[in-house]
Amino acid sequence: MDNSSMARLLAQTADLLEIDGGDGFRIRSYRRAADSLEQTTIDVAGITDDVAKLLAIPGIGKGMAANLQAIAATGSLPLRDELLTKYGSSILELLKLPGMGPKTVALLWDAARVGSVDQLADAIEAGRLTGLPRMGAKQIEKLRKGIEEYRRSSGRFRIDDAEEAAQRIGAYLRTFPGIERVTPAGSLRRGRETAGDLDLLVTGPACEPEHTAAAVEHVAAFPGIRDILAKGENKVSFQLANGLQVDVRLLPTESYGAALQYFTGSKAHNVALRQRALKKGYTLSEWSLARLKDNSTVAAATEEEIYAALGMEWIPPELRENLGEIEAASAHKLPRLIELSDIRGDVHMHTTATDGRNTILEMAEAALARGYQYIAITDHSKNLAMTNGLNEKRALEHLRRIREVDQQMEGRIRVMTGIEVDILADGALDLDNEVLAQMDVVIASVHTRFEQSQEEMTDRILRALENPHTRILGHPTGRLLLQREPYALDLGAVLRRAAELGVAVEHNAAPERLDLCDRDLRLAKELGCRIVVSTDAHDTRHLVKMEYGVRQLRRAWLGPHDVLNTLPARRFLESLRPRKSTTT
């Protein structure tokens, strides 16, 4: 269990206690402990046998330390399990609906015995919510729409959640003697923004046919399993507590490449590849590429051998969607895709000046440790009061502090001044032009009034682009994966105007956003847009999320030359829209 997983269990327990009408102090203690686990840099699971170290973490008392020990030992928490038995595990689904908090869930349970999304939908259709406290027509309609959004996304998991599960399970599997390699396949390997399930391919001496029985039992004993779905000679399928289905396949080493190719997919890519194999007199399966005439193996051990035998370059997993990659690989014309090592700077991040958890200096030092040459500090503007956004006076004071840190770094890393300024409902920017003119990087973003019509939202963003100080358009569609759909927007019109004005468009690498998506990134490139990738980090630990953004850029067929922050600092700034003077 990593810190985030443990924190999630504590937070869920707090929610369940609130639904149950528990003591407020006790609820707050669970929430405070969850926050502490999210913020601490200590690997909590690694110190659970040392109570003194646990107690040294803010928000952790003796009772909570015992809870953490229970989580580390069993992967769960007795109180949480007890409350889930009382209300049913589906009650936590209700908290995933927009605007649904524990108090509302408690109201629905007490008044209508609603304990799942399906039961809520039935209650709405039957009119059983009408007349309940805080359940006016607008709120009921909001719940109805929230259910529709949830059902569209249910069964999918964000890429970071799937990867965390893959790492956790992989670390466990490798403790078994004779298991040497655990490789994610499927949607996760292709870098898709969400995954419906998780495929793990396992090789090593323990996976040879004569030895798999013991390895299969080891897989089935993974402590995070909620349900075993199937168990065979070389495969175990199970479901984790969060509902993610995991398929673990134990493979002989000589078939590893064929299996990796087959289970990585996509389905459309594999169908096209099998058709190519048939035309060459071969058959392609999860076991091998073999000759049709005598079933003799042509290639199986590595993907590279299989693609080469078919007269093709090896195709990066992110491109395997049957969108032209097979033709390009056959002509040996695949592009050189961007890599994480190409990124020289991260230009969207927040600090303690607004809603971040680290200081300017701490963000700079963390970026330097990642090998970056520059960053931009882009805290929020005043319209986002909940984030302690900066007004004009505070913004100017913040610029001075950023410049002081830049000098303090003595050239080891460039610390640029910046702001993430809100695009207001009418398209105006949230700070005076005189202040914006002093920023190296001005990111303009929509954070409010998502309900505007397509025409209103498009005009709003187009007006923001016209402001001469807008240099980057932040997370352009406003989506939150599996939580909030993109707002209504004529994205083509926005991207075309951004290209004309020289305003860069952001790919926000935060895994809850990944905005623009891979399809829209391809459109942005086709329209001539300048593209920036950034993490929108609110914590030094968020800087690692750049890898999720790079995967989406690769899925969009983008190379280093397509992304501005692969450039050195001076050339990066020169490639942005020219900065206007204060007299503009």
Q: 327-358: per-residue pLDDT in tens?
A: 999 999 999 999 999 999 999 999 999 999 99
Confidence label for 138 from pLDDT (cuts 50, 70 and 90): confident
**Other C-beta atoms lying within 10 Å of the C-beta of residue 223:** 12
Torsion of CA 106, 107, 109, 112, to 10 degrees: 180
Phi, psi dihedral angles at 87 (to 5 degrees): -105, -15
Distance separating alpha carbons of residues 405 and 201, to the nearest angstrom = 47
Q: Which distant-in-sequence residues (6+ apart) come within 8 Å of 229 by Cβ?
A: 237, 238, 239, 245
Token couple for 307? 């693609």
Q: State the Rg of the chain over Cα.
A: 26
Note the pTM of the prediction, 2 decimals: 0.78
Report the first-to-last Cα separation within the chain, whole angstroms.
54
Is it the case that residue 118 has pLDDT exceeding 90? Answer: no
Is it the case that residue 536 has pLDDT exceeding 50? Answer: yes
Q: Where are the alpha helices (DSSP H) in 427-575?
A: 433-436, 454-466, 491-501, 518-526, 546-555, 569-575
Q: Which residue has the higher pLDDT, 93 or 259?
A: 259
Q: 366-375: per-residue pLDDT in tens?
A: 999 999 999 9
What CATH class does 157-251 carry?
alpha beta
Is it the case that residue 431 has pLDDT exceeding 90? Answer: yes
How do 472-473 and 441-445 pair as beta strands? Answer: parallel
**Other C-beta atoms lying within 10 Å of the C-beta of residue 513:** 25
Torsion of CA 493, 496, 500, 501, to 10 degrees: 60
Under 8 Å between Cβ of 531 and 343: no
| C-alpha distances in Å from residue 511, one per residue of 348, 518, 545, 549 | 14, 13, 7, 8
The per-residue pLDDT for 584 is 38
Burial of 85 (0-12, 13-18, 19+ CB in 10 A): exposed
Is it the case that residue 85 has pLDDT exceeding 60? Answer: yes
Place of tokens 């952001």: 506
The per-residue pLDDT for 79 is 93
Q: In what order do the strands lie in the sheet with 181-184?
A: 181-184, 197-203, 245-250, 235-240, 225-231
Under 8 Å between Cβ of 10 and 38: no
Number of H helices, E strands in the chain: 24, 17
Is it the case that residue 236 has pLDDT exceeding 50? Answer: yes
Distance separating alpha carbons of residues 104 and 403, to the nearest angstrom = 47
Question: Helix, strand or coil for residue 301?
Answer: coil
Is it the case that residue 534 has pLDDT exceeding 70? Answer: yes
Under 8 Å between Cβ of 529 and 505: yes
Percent of all residues in the chain with a pLDDT value above 90, rounded to a whole number:
74
Domain-by-domain residue ranges, the chain? 1-87, 157-251, 256-330, 340-575
Confidence label for 2 from pLDDT (cuts 50, 70 and 90): confident
Q: Which CATH number fits domain 340-575: 3.40.1190.20, 3.20.20.140, 3.40.50.300, 2.60.120.380?
A: 3.20.20.140
Phi, psi dihedral angles at 160 (to 5 degrees): -70, -35
Q: Angle at which helices 518-526 and 546-555 pack, to 10 degrees?
A: 60
Q: Which distant-in-sequence residues (6+ apart) come within 8 Å of 425 by Cβ?
A: 448, 449, 452, 460
Q: Which distant-in-sequence residues (6+ apart) come within 8 Å of 393 by Cβ?
A: none
Alpha-carbon 68 to chain mean position:
26
Closest CA to 129 of 115, 112, 109: 112
Under 8 Å between Cβ of 289 and 298: yes
Is it the case that residue 154 has pLDDT exceeding 80? Answer: no
Burial of 251 (0-12, 13-18, 19+ CB in 10 A): buried
The per-residue pLDDT for 99 is 72
Closest CA to 499 of 527, 475, 476: 527
Superfamily of domain 256-330: DNA polymerase, thumb domain (3.30.210.10)
Alpha-carbon 429 to chain mean position:
28
The per-residue pLDDT for 193 is 95
Note the CATH number of domain 1-87: 1.10.150.110
Confidence label for 452 from pLDDT (cuts 50, 70 and 90): very high
Question: Helix, strand or coil for residue 540?
Answer: helix
